[in-house]
Amino acid sequence: MKGKPLVSMVSAGLSKFGKLEGLYAREIFAEAAKEAFDRCPNLDPKKDIKALFLGHMGESYEHQGHTGATAADWAGLLHIPATRTETACASSGAALRAGIFAVLSGLCDTVMVGGVEKMTHRTTAEVTEYLAMASDFPFEQWHGITFPGLYALMATAHMHEYGTTEEQLAMVAVKNHHNGFLNPKAHMQKEVTLEKALSSRVIAWPLKLYDCSLITDGGSCVIITKPEIAKKYTDMPIQIIGSGQASDSIGIYERESLTSLIAAKIAARQAYEMAGVRPEDVDVAEVHDCFTIAEIIGYEDLGFCKRGEGGRLVESGETKLDGKLPVNTSGGLKSKGHPVGATGTAQAYEIYLQLTEQAEKRQVKDANIALAHNVGGSGATATVHIFRRE
Amino acid sequence: MSEQAPFTIEQFYKYISQGKLMGGKCKKCGKIHLPPRPLCDKCFSKEFEWIQIQPKGKLLTYTIIYVAPPQFQQMAPYAVGIIQLENDLKIPGMIKEVTLEQIKIGMNLTVAFEASPTTSQWPQWPRYYFKPA
Ligand SMILES: [Zn+2]
């Protein structure tokens, strides 16, 4: 069964990422859905799409819960079953997995999975508070630990244990900003120098402004179907051949390790095994870089390098666009932006473009196997998906 | 009888207001839970006894928070960390009564206790914090 397609991705859509003034989540999601419909003229959305799974993290932003049904309605899919999945920043990674379950169960032939978040109309203090809700309230939030603070705790430990440097953290930002500079849909299409990243203001030491992903509005979606009927919709379906998901304690203080996310390691192992793929087979990857340290830990958890070697891997340049294993060709959460609920399927969108050779200036040559790594909060959820060109 | 108190987060903070760091020890498998929980995640027992944890440990990792949520903004920049206690237990908290530059991984810290807040809003948990030993 190894490497057998679980489902086929036949289309994908992404709204512009950024500060989308005056637009609300449902309207932003509709923009992403429209692109997915337009890319797939053989698909009749009203007839063919049997369900929506929507990743969305926070009611607080727009004072709006029950967003699955709302998103389906605004996408023109009124009355289909629409369910919101919430696993913090991995909400749409989980939506993708829920969609895979729906198709594999045989209950639905074709479903839309996606995600959305509207964040930029709130103050930074408010967003800081809402994001912290993905962490433990009685012991982390209660003691003033912010969401960047949790990753800063991991960064300090990683620096102490493995000699990872602030420069290496900044190199993740420089790399991802270069990629985002080439992505017309990225929030911050701007190159950043190492000096600028290193001298930016401190958010939670050792993490500075340029170590943090952006507060962004955005929506994303992909359409998945049974592999047997995928050719009905497109000549170039992308196969999802591995899917993993795991959880961990909500408080990082309860974990065995402060320098590794066990949920991500378990999810990766499941996905690799299912796909019959090894880390060295991966040609291009989207790795959850909510903070620069998260990408470095992600390299290690995904087996792209040995434990403790993540800082040196980014320094080697191998994860740059022209390196052996380009990571975050989209610009990642760092430069493309991190509309929390939208991130998981935004990663799948980038992989769809890469594997169908539509990534334009940031196209990776001859990419065949791709991986998406989506982490919820400080690691209490992780999903890993592996994709293959047909 | 303290043994009768429920093994909950609420009770943990009641003990904090009394200046005690208390965990729940599973009577069946011996695992110590800090914070306590009503169901042992190792053996599924619901039988516990309270055990007082030495309020001192070593700093495992830390950060200095500059951008804080609204209720902490006035305190920023402030330090938070995770300390290693006895019995392989760890808890996070603020590090106070120290200049930020003096904070180092491995330093010895003790747990100090604050009084319960006087607001009527949930939650009314008192805070503990860490200070140099
Ligand atoms: Zn037990």
SS percent in chain B: helix, strand, coil, step 5 = 20, 35, 45
Residue A274 tokens, joined:
């299912």
Q: Which domain holds residue B92?
A: 56-132
What DSSP character marks residue A227? Answer: G
CA B54 to the chain's CA centroid: 11
Q: Residue for token digits 């949920």?
A: A263
Q: How many cross-chain Cβ pairs, A to B, lie less than 8 Å apart?
A: 99
Same domain membership, residue B64 and residue B45: no
Of A4-8, A147-151, A329-333, B116-120, the least confident = B116-120
Beta A284-287 vs A369-376: how paired, if at all?
A: parallel
Distance of alpha carbon A111 from alpha carbon A99, whole angstroms: 6
Q: Is the separation of the CB atoms in A180 and A186 below 8 Å?
A: yes
A-contacting residues in B 88-127 (Cβ below 8 Å): 90-94, 105, 123, 125, 127
- Each residue of A86-138: pLDDT tens digit? 999 999 999 999 999 999 999 999 999 999 999 999 998 899 889 999 999 99
Residue A227 C-alpha, separation from nearest chain B C-alpha, in angstroms: 40
Same domain membership, residue B60 and residue B36: no
CB contact under 8 A, A144 and B63: no
Ordered alpha helix ranges (H), chain A: 25-38, 45-48, 67-74, 91-104, 124-132, 147-162, 166-181, 194-199, 262-275, 292-301, 310-316, 332-335, 343-355
Residue (of A280, A292, A274) closest to A328 by Cα position: A292
Burial per residue of A303-336, b for 16 or more beta-carbon CB atoms within 10 angstroms, e otherwise: bbbebbbbbbbbbeebbbbeeebbbbbbbbbbbb
Mutate to test the interface with B, among A142, A166, A201, A214 (most CBs of B within 10 A): A142
Strand partners, B51: B23
Distance of alpha carbon A365 from alpha carbon A329, whole angstroms: 12
Give CA separation, B27 vs B34, B37, B46, B47, B52, in Å: 15, 13, 8, 6, 15
Give B-chain residues touching A124 at CB under 8 angstroms.
Answer: 67
Catalytic member of A56, A288, A338, A385 = A338
Residue A63: burial class (beta carbons within 10 Å; 0-12, 13-18, 19+): exposed
Mutate to test the interface with A, among B11, B63, B72 (most CBs of A within 10 A): B63
Euclidean distance between the first and final Cα of chain A, in Å? 16
- Domain residue extents for chain A: 7-122+214-389
CB contact under 8 A, A258 and B91: no
Strand partners, A89: A87
Same domain membership, residue B67 and residue B41: no
Q: Would an 8 Å CB–CB cutoff place B9 in contact with chain A?
A: yes
To the query of whether residue A338 is one of the catalytic residues in this protein, the response is yes
Helix (H, G, I), strand (E, B) or coil at A114: strand
Q: Is the separation of the CB atoms in A18 and A337 below 8 Å?
A: yes
Give A-chain residues touching B16 at CB under 8 angstroms.
Answer: none
Euclidean distance between the first and final Cα of chain B, in Å? 32
Catalytic member of A40, A89, A108, A305 = A89
Q: Would an 8 Å CB–CB cutoff place B59 in contact with chain A?
A: no
Residue B80 C-alpha, separation from nearest chain A C-alpha, in angstroms: 7
Calculate the average pLDDT of chain A. Answer: 97
pLDDT of residue A1: 56
Same domain membership, residue B24 and residue B9: yes
User: How does DSSP assign A307-346, residue by residue?
Assistant: TT-HHHHHHHTTTSTTSSS-B-TT-HHHHT---GGGHHHH
- Each residue of A23-81: pLDDT tens digit? 999 999 999 999 999 999 999 999 999 999 999 999 999 999 999 999 999 999 999 99
To the query of whether residue A89 is one of the catalytic residues in this protein, the response is yes
Q: Would an 8 Å CB–CB cutoff place A142 in contact with chain B?
A: yes
Same domain membership, residue B67 and residue B123: yes
Same domain membership, residue B65 and residue B11: no
- Each residue of B43-81: pLDDT tens digit? 999 999 999 999 999 999 999 999 998 889 999 999 999
Same domain membership, residue B70 and residue B9: no
Q: Would an 8 Å CB–CB cutoff place A149 in contact with chain B?
A: yes
Same domain membership, residue B66 and residue B42: no
Residue (of B73, B83, B86) closest to B131 by Cα position: B83
Residue A189 tokens, joined:
């299409």
pLDDT of residue A13: 98
Q: Would an 8 Å CB–CB cutoff place A204 in contact with chain B?
A: yes
Q: Give the architecture-level CATH label for domain A7-122+214-389.
A: 3-Layer(aba) Sandwich (3.40)
Same domain membership, residue B60 and residue B47: no
Give A-chain residues touching B14 at CB under 8 angstroms.
Answer: none
pLDDT of residue B115: 83
Residue (of B78, B84, B119, B128) closest to A253 by Cα position: B84
Mutate to test the interface with B, among A133, A137, A141, A156 (most CBs of B within 10 A): A156
Distance of alpha carbon A353 from alpha carbon B32, whole angstroms: 50
Instruction: Say how many domains are in chain B.
Output: 2
Whether this prediction's pTM lies above 0.95 is answered by yes
Give CA separation, A235 vs A41, A207, A358, in Å: 12, 45, 14
> Does the ipTM surpass 0.90?
yes
- Residue A139: closest C-alpha in chain B: B92
